[in-house]
Amino acid sequence: MDNRFATAFVIACVLSLISTIYMAASIGTDFWYEYRSPVQENSSDLNKSIWNDFASDEADEKTYSDALFRYNGTVGLWRRCITIPQNTYWYSPPERTESFDMVTKCMSFTLNEQFMEKFVEPGNHNSGIDLLRTYLWRCQFLLPFVSLGLMCFGALIGLSACICRSLYPTIATGILHLLAGLCTLGSVSCYVAGIELLHQKLELPENVSGEFGWSFCLACVSAPLQFMASALFIWAAHTNRKEYTLMKAYRVA
């Protein structure tokens, strides 16, 4: 094996490993989108009700979105989290004598919630199903796992190529990484579109802002790494095969 191809193969493997780690970390963390809002220090009946509704298994999209807006919420592919005072009361404390200790409370999205229909008016089941938001949500949830699976399958093919001491099977690895990159890019695009459409339906309250978090950034970085690994795998395998064929033809001649 030519040193050029071996170097390209090693670099591609490193890029593939980094992108896999980034993608796995992105899937497993809760910071795809973050809301910034003023700290809610009093534990009024309204706030208590919102916290209880957020933690309920029957919370609909509008219910948990309102809580995310109010309480510095973060959203991942699997979980939603809010930040609330650690010591809560059914009444408002007479005076604030010391800083409030804040804790993060998280709820996981169930599989039913992941595949549940989204409505034209969030929380209003009589407003009709919003097919666009429904399928965007499902795609943003499924595509990262498809991407991760394709990269793992590609790694197995690459391992078999090393055992066989041949670069030709890595063409399949390159194609799988290309598909994985497209899935990652599709997931990121679906997430951005879904968030924008949600904010058109539910406007952010005053003094509340939102931004994409570092989990989302990891997914964004993972996609180009997958494309670069794919290009190197395919180039190394194709060029090595071509040179081998020319050398074989030369020997025959």
Q: Which of 123, 116, 47 is nearest to 82 (CA)?
A: 47
- Residue 246: which pLDDT band, with cuts at 50, 70 and 90? very low
- Dist CA 253 CA 183 (whole Å): 46
* Dihedral sign of CA atoms 128, 132, 135, 139 in order: negative
Question: Using CA atoms, how far apart are residues 214 and 122, in angstroms rounded to an integer?
Answer: 27
20-27 mean pLDDT: 94
Residue range 221-237: average pLDDT? Answer: 92
66 or 6, which is more confident: 66
pLDDT band at 147 (very low <50, low <70, confident <90, very high): very high
pLDDT of residue 111: 86
Position 94 scores a pLDDT of 46
pTM for this model (two decimals): 0.84
The gap from C-alpha 238 to its chain's centroid, in whole angstroms, comes to 32
CA 159 to CA 97: how far, in whole Å? 62
- Pairwise CA distance, residues 165 & 1, whole Å: 8
d(C-alpha 174, C-alpha 31), whole Å: 30
Contact 167, 236 (CB under 8 A): yes
Residues 6+ apart with CB under 8 A from 152: 20
